[in-house]
Amino acid sequence: MHVEEVVQCRCDWAAKEYQWRQLRHQRAIDEFHQTIESKQFTNPPKRQKYYTQVRQEQLVRHATREEIIFGMVNALNEDGPYSLTNAIVKETSKKIVVLENQEDDAVDEILTHLDVLLHESEHDSRLVREHLRQLLHEFSAMSLPIPIRDLYTEFKDLLVELKVDLEDLYRYVEIIKVEAMVFV
């Protein structure tokens, strides 16, 4: 091989090696974005399940509130405005206050539980982040170059083991190249 061909081959190899690093780096970034945009982070299953439970509890409290309020409205419509005594209004007011206190307690409990879910997911997030960081470094453009000299040595040793002379190999390749040009 001529020196110019060796230099050209090495330049081509370096260019392809750089492109390969860029592809691997882009793959790591794409995997990162897919993971960050996944349900695991945008709407975790534990949080979905908890919100479903919270909605059910809110619907029960809302139905109770409506029952109390519409009970008074129905009494007004059926018996007239003078049917609501002071005792009935006070009793209804107490029921509504109890219901509001339950709602306040439920909100405090919800916020506390969401904080617990946040701390649980924080640990999982750290693990995912470290895994993605490792992938980014593994596939980054800054990764170690492919050891071309070692590959060449291994290929040469393989040819020696197979008892193939490099000059004969080059001649065969040239013959095949000429024959291939005839077909084209």
In a shared domain, residues 94 and 174: no
Structural domain that includes position 67: 3-143
pLDDT digits over 60-85, tens only? 988 998 898 888 888 788 877 777 77
In a shared domain, residues 35 and 17: yes
In a shared domain, residues 51 and 120: yes
Q: How many angstroms separate the CA atoms of 150 and 97, rounded?
A: 81
In a shared domain, residues 24 and 101: yes
In a shared domain, residues 100 and 180: no
pLDDT digits over 117-160, tens only? 888 888 877 887 788 777 777 666 555 666 666 666 776 777 66
Structural domain count, the chain = 2
In a shared domain, residues 66 and 99: yes
CA-to-CA separations, 177 to 123, 170, 173, 180, in angstroms, rounded: 60, 10, 6, 5
| Range with the largest mean pLDDT of 39-43, 110-114, 162-166, 179-183 | 110-114
140 contacts 70 by C-beta, under 8 angstroms: no
pLDDT digits over 89-109, tens only? 888 889 889 989 998 999 899
CA atoms within 13 Å, Cβ hemisphere of 133 = 6
pLDDT greater than 60 at residue 178: yes
In a shared domain, residues 58 and 94: yes
